[in-house]
Amino acid sequence: MRTKEQYYEDTLKNRAVLKQEDVLRCTCPYVRCEWHGRCRECVALHRYHASHLPCCLQPLLRDKITALAGTCEMETRQQEKEAEKFRAYVKEQDSLRGKERQA
């Protein structure tokens, strides 16, 4: 277990990491997604719906799960990605209905 001094040092390191712009950049491949770059809201929605992990977190866990599945002689596959046309459809419907995207 860490000491309180080690915990404080880790906190200082984390603060330094969060000052780096590349760490804060949204890594999701769906750049047209309404929540792209608004990661806190994106994660909250994924937690609420409990349907799957956000795309940015999937690669982090895929390698670990694949290794674990290998020990159980199971297979893993990459989740099929939602079609971009669905995102375009949402924007089209929003404009037809006269709704503005809330920031």
Residues spanned by the domain of 88: 27-97
| Residue 42 included in any domain | yes
| Residue 15 included in any domain | no
| Residue 14 included in any domain | no
| Residue 81 included in any domain | yes
**pLDDT digits 0-9 by tens, 35-75:** 999 999 999 999 999 988 898 888 888 888 888 888 877 66
pLDDT given for residue 19 in this prediction = 95
Cα 92 from Cα 8, distance rounded (Å): 49
Cα 59 from Cα 79, distance rounded (Å): 11
| Residue 62 included in any domain | yes
| Residue 9 included in any domain | no
Most confident listed range (15-24, 52-61, 91-100): 15-24
Cα 21 from Cα 3, distance rounded (Å): 30
Residues present in the chain in total: 103
Cα 51 from Cα 94, distance rounded (Å): 24
Buried b (16+ CB within 10 A) or exposed e, 68-86: eeeeeeeeeeeeeeeeeee
| Residue 51 included in any domain | yes
| Residue 67 included in any domain | yes
Please tell me the total count of domains within the chain. Answer: 1
Cα 20 from Cα 9, distance rounded (Å): 18
